[in-house]
Structure 1
Amino acid sequence: MRSKLIAATAALAGLSMAAAPLLAQAQPHHHRHRVQVCTYAGRNAKNTGTVVGAVAGGLLGRSLAHGGGKTGGTLLGAGAGAVAGHQIAKHNGKKCHWEWRD
């Protein structure tokens, strides 16, 4: 009887030793890591950039156009200026920083 009790105790001890690494692996590891967080300009800033770019591009296109092509130069300049103004406002409105997170 005593030998059976010793064998059972040894078997349980062996099971608990085998289960210990599994329990250690199951616990989550908390590591801090860096993430980049960006905020973007609102819609109003992009719209303002588009309008300012369109007006400036239209004026520049009109001044560079010759003869009867003033209307075409104005329209082309306004279109190009609108796209450029929107992209510049979007790029300038992007603010990024790094944060540490768990």
Structure 2
Amino acid sequence: MRPRLKALVLATVVGFTASSVAVTAADAQSRERYRVLVCNKSKAKNGAIIGGLGGALLGNTVAGRGNKTEGALLGGAVGAVAGHEIGKGKKKCHYEYRYRR
């Protein structure tokens, strides 16, 4: 390649690179970065439903003769409360970085 053509190609490449860096730096300065705490929704409702069904089945099984209905109701109530409390504690939180324009 001729020296003059090499110089022209090199100048063009350097010019495009410099303009790209300048545009990127200007864009980065115009956007402010901030940190946000993001938490997943609580699983308390699902825990209450699953705990209530499991408690009702267990209460029905454990209850004595003639007390199957009462055992299922009591087991369902206790299971629903326990499932709600267990599900409520299963929140997962993390930080995300976001940009303002």
TM-score, scaled relative to structure 1:
0.50
Any idea what the Cα deviations from partners look like across 1:60-93, whole Å, max 9, x if unmatched?
1001001000000000000000000000000122
Which residues in structure 2 correspond to 1:34-53 (within 5 Å)? 41-42=40-41, 45-53=43-51
Are residue 86 (structure 1) and residue 77 (structure 2) matched? no
Question: Which ranges of 4 or more aligned residues in structure 1 deviate by more than 6 Å?
Answer: none
Assess, with a 3 A threshold, how the Cα gap between structure 1 residues 73 and 42 changes in structure 2: closer, same or farther: same
Give the equivalent residue in structure 1 for 2:8: none
Any idea what the Cα deviations from partners look like across 1:35-62, whole Å, max 9, x if unmatched?
xx9765525x211111000000000100
Assess, with a 3 A threshold, how the Cα gap between structure 1 residues 51 and 38 changes in structure 2: closer, same or farther: farther
Secondary structure of 1:92's partner? coil
Measure how far apart 1:95 and its partner are: 3.9
Stretches of structure 1 that go unaligned for 5 or more consecutive residues are 1-36, 98-102
Secondary structure of 2:89's partner? helix
Greater share of helix residues, 1 or 2?
1
User: Structure 2 CA distance, aligned partners of 1:90 and 1:74?
Assistant: 24
Q: What fraction of aligned residue pairs are identical, expressed as a percent?
A: 40
Give the RMSD, CA atoms, in angstroms: 2.3
Are residue 56 (structure 1) and residue 59 (structure 2) matched? no
Stretches of structure 2 that go unaligned for 5 or more consecutive residues are 1-35, 96-101
User: Structure 2 CA distance, aligned partners of 1:61 and 1:38?
Assistant: 41
